[in-house]
Chain A
């Protein structure tokens, strides 16, 4: 079991052929998590007993010949997914002791397939952040360099895959929270089209932007995971009732004639030279594979971050109103009445970044400012969405960098909110447009930090992203390299 590039399918074959049991596999992962987690701070909750029970159930299912491809496979969840009976903190003090009373739909679907859930993963508080440093439980560390951030907000989900502390994980992406940490940790991360995956039971940040997606070692694993969680859910009225294709069927390696768009606004002066070098090499690889490069324009790119921070904070200020110390979460009651109880509970429970976003969002929605800020941003969102629809008239996918730089040192941007926000400049537009986008490993910096490429697809064209990304993986080995601070051996 020394190979570090084992895929879900390869592991599934070993389980089916009784070369290994899910219990052995799960024990091996739990042992590695126990040995490595203190250094990397990736897991917030380790579900040892629950995972072993799931593994035993999976082994019985495999023995009966009733196994799904995910049966017995050890996975883990960003701590934003409700998983019944398990603590779910969302990276916040205010939910430090919150026990999920029911399963999110994504988790229920993984359980139905017999997956083993190892635990809950570190994240920026309420998914607000780009470095994991906003976690109330301390930042996760990057397995490629422990002095660097993992990215965020799904930093634990990315790092767990990179450190081989889970076979695959789930994250959420509101402005890049799956793709940016995937890039920084050298793993695959897919943000599906808005409405592709149910958000039921996923703690809300910005409801018109949030989307659930997989983080994996390979594009094929990503296709398997997406197939498991995608599809209409009557419990999420924004999930879309369209057919879920067989995402693995298109992974044939042939992308001749595919038209790849290069948006000129993303290749401006000031792009980190190492990121540019990696993306240039990626373009050359796709050209060798027979794809056709086409310059496109997304003229409103420069406005995306400002647009996002108005819409996301406005929606967050509304969503986070529920944390009032009444039905769940921390309560601070000094005997000064109900309103003071609300104010003190929220003051004690929320961290600085969450307070900042609630404040900005409350202001943007407040009487007299709504038209100038929130409504204005929604109109700009229309322009950004139109940019993409126009570009997709000419090309099948769009190729861009994921982040302006490789993973940055811990502490570098914590005192400058705007600089932190700008690290999402290449990922935010896909959320505003509501379309799908994937980050996959494309190379390394001179210092040995991973650098990702982003493929942005048409709405509900996840299969195209997976097909193209898979073809790239067949001729490169970036995705199978092993991080130096790697816990697992599987």
Chain B
């Protein structure tokens, strides 16, 4: 086993996913199958190989720091599950 059910639970906490017991069981089996499969990469010696983050070489794209029109708060809030006074509304964080 590459990953135990307990570790899968820990990953679900990191991923902010509430998984049911049934989902955790299934996920443990499937993640082990997939991790076994991706293990084939370890057959390759990659010492000294430079990792590729982007296939097409791109330099950092700088632009002048000037204020430009943006979509505005009305459109920014149009899909908000809850909004009030021009802000997104979230559950209480500080007791």
Q: Which A435-482 residues sit within 8 Å CB-CB of chain B?
A: 435, 459
Q: Shortest distance in angstroms between B50's beta carbon and chain A's nearest beta carbon?
A: 6
- Note all chain A residues with C-beta closer than 8 A to B31: 356, 359-360, 363
Q: In the complex, how many angstroms separate the beta carbon of A360 from the nearest chain B beta carbon?
A: 6
Check A385 against B55 for contact (C-beta < 8 Å). yes
Decide: A326 and B53 in contact? CB cutoff 8 A: no
> Does the CB pair B71–A208 fall under 8 Å?
no
Interface of chain B residues 5 through 43 with chain A (CB within 8 A):
7-8, 11-12, 14-19, 23, 27, 30-31, 33-35, 37-42
Establish whether residues B54 and A194, one from each chain, have CB atoms under 8 Å apart when the complex forms.
Answer: yes
Across-interface contacts of A326 in B (CB, < 8 A)? 80-81, 88, 90
Of residues 41 to 65 in B, which have CB atoms within 8 Å of A's CB atoms? 41-42, 44, 46, 49-56, 58, 61, 63
CB pair A343–B46 under 8 Å, yes or no, is no
- Most central of B17, B27, B93 by chain A CB within 10 Å: B17
The answer to whether A343 touches B30, judged by C-beta atoms less than 8 angstroms apart, is no
Chain B: interface residue count, which band? 35 or more
Contact A302–B40 (Cβ < 8 Å): yes
State whether B78 touches A101 (Cβ < 8 A).
Answer: yes
A418–B36 CA distance with the chains assembled, in angstroms: 11
A267 at the interface (CB under 8 A from B): no
- Are the C-beta atoms of B79 and A98 separated by less than 8 Å? yes
Instruction: Pick out which of these stretches binds chain B: A2-10, A177-185, A327-335.
Output: A327-335
Q: Contact at B56–A434, with CB atoms within 8 Å?
A: yes
Does A324 reach chain B (CB closer than 8 Å)? yes
Give the shortest distance, in Å, between B31 (CB) and chain A (any CB). 6
> What is the CB-to-nearest-CB distance from A175 to chain B, in angstroms, rounded to a whole number?
13
Report the nearest B residue to A344, measured CB to CB. B18
Closest CB-CB distance, A348 to chain B, in whole Å? 9
State the main secondary structure of chain A at its contact with B: helix
- Closest Cβ of chain B: how far from A213's Cβ, in Å? 15
B82: A residues at CB distance < 8 A: 331
Smallest Cβ-Cβ distance to A330: which chain B residue: B81
Q: Which residues of A sit under 8 angstroms from B92, Cβ to Cβ?
A: 337-338
- Chain A: residues with Cβ within 8 Å of the partner, total of 71
Question: How distant is the Cα of A362 from the Cα of B10 in the complex, in angstroms?
Answer: 10
> In chain B, residues 63-90, which have Cβ atoms closer than 8 Å to a Cβ of chain A?
63, 71, 75-76, 78-82, 88, 90
Q: Is the interface of B mostly helix, strand, loop or mixed?
A: loop
Within 8 A of B (CB), among A358-390: 358-360, 362-363, 366, 373, 375-383, 385
Cα distance, A483 to B3, chains bound together (Å): 46
Contact of B55 with A433 in the complex, beta carbons under 8 Å = yes
Contact assessment for B11 and A383 in the assembled complex, using a CB-CB cutoff below 8 Å: no
Q: Are A376 and B42 in contact (CB under 8 A)?
A: yes
Check B52 against A385 for contact (C-beta < 8 Å).
yes
Closest to B82 in A: A331
Q: A194-B56, A346-B16 are in contact. Are A417 and B30 (CB under 8 A)?
A: yes
Q: Is the CB–CB distance between A102 and B33 below 8 Å? A: no
Q: Which of chain A's residues has its CB closest to B40's CB?
A: A306
Instruction: For residue A322, give the distance in angstroms from its CB to the closest CB of chain B.
Output: 11
The yes or no answer to A231 lying at the interface (CB within 8 A) is: no
Residues of the B chain whose Cβ atoms lie less than 8 Å from the Cβ of A366: 11, 14
Q: Is the CB of A382 within 8 A of B52?
A: yes
| CB-CB under 8 A for A193 and B56, given A101-B75, A341-B91 | yes
Identify B91's interface contact among A309, A330, A335, A343, CB under 8 A: A335
Query: Considering the chains assembled together, what is the distance between the CA atoms of A306 and B19 in angstroms?
Result: 25
Residue on A with the closest CB to B46? A379
B23 touching A303 by the CB < 8 A rule?
Answer: no
Contact assessment for B17 and A359 in the assembled complex, using a CB-CB cutoff below 8 Å: yes
Which of A134-142, A234-242, A250-258 makes up part of the contact surface? A234-242
Residues of the A chain whose Cβ atoms lie less than 8 Å from the Cβ of B56: 193-195, 238, 240, 434, 459
B38 to chain A, nearest CB (A): 4
Give the nearest-CB partner of B49 in chain A: A379
B85 shortest CB reach to chain A, Å: 16
Whether B51 contacts A378 by the Cβ 8 Å rule is yes
Q: Is the CB of A375 within 8 A of B51?
A: yes
Which B residue's beta carbon lies closest to that of A194? Answer: B56
Bound complex: CA A326 to CA B80 (Å): 7
Given the complex, which residues of A lie within 8 Å of B34, measured CB to CB? Answer: 309, 360, 417-418
Instruction: Judge whether B16 and A359 touch: CB under 8 Å.
Output: no
Query: What 6 A-B pairs have minimum CB-CB distances, sorted nearest first?
Result: A434-B55, A378-B51, A331-B81, A328-B79, A237-B61, A379-B46
Question: What are 14 inter-chain pairs, A to B, with CB distance below 8 A?
Answer: A240-B58, A306-B41, A328-B79, A335-B91, A343-B18, A347-B19, A359-B12, A359-B17, A359-B27, A379-B46, A379-B50, A380-B46, A417-B33, A418-B37
Residues of chain B touching chain A, judged by Cβ–Cβ distance below 8 Å, are 3, 7-8, 11-12, 14-19, 23, 27, 30-31, 33-35, 37-42, 44, 46, 49-56, 58, 61, 63, 71, 75-76, 78-82, 88, 90-93
Given A101-B76, A102-B71, A347-B17, 13 further pairs, Cβ under 8 A: A208-B55, A238-B58, A240-B56, A306-B39, A309-B37, A309-B38, A327-B79, A331-B82, A338-B93, A359-B12, A376-B42, A378-B53, A385-B52
